[in-house]
Amino acid sequence: MKLKIAKGDTVEVISGKDKGRKGAVLSLDKNRLKLKVQGVFMQTKFSREDGMKTLEGFIDYSNVKLLEKKSKKVPKAKKSSAAKA
């Protein structure tokens, strides 16, 4: 299945406890159809070295709506007069 959402796109959560929140896609798991959105579904993790950390958790692909695609426009190179000679 081809996903319409990619890393860097802006999405809005449409269901769940974070409904209405917007953020950028940080990572994407295409096999499980889950993604991480910046500032959404925060989870507390503990490690001995760093102590308590809050990190984004994975949410289901069906719970988000695409708002804005990441721009992939690449400027064209201008032809110089040296290339004509």
Give the Cα-Cα-Cα angle 4, 73, 22 (nearest 5 degrees): 45
User: 63-80, pLDDT tens digit by residue?
Assistant: 999 998 886 666 666 666
**What domains sit in the chain, N to C, each tagged with a CATH number?**
10-70 (2.30.30.30)
User: 40-58, pLDDT tens digit by residue?
Assistant: 999 999 989 989 999 999 9
What's the rounded mean pLDDT across residues 18-32?
95
Phi, psi for 82 (deg, rounded to 5): -70, -30
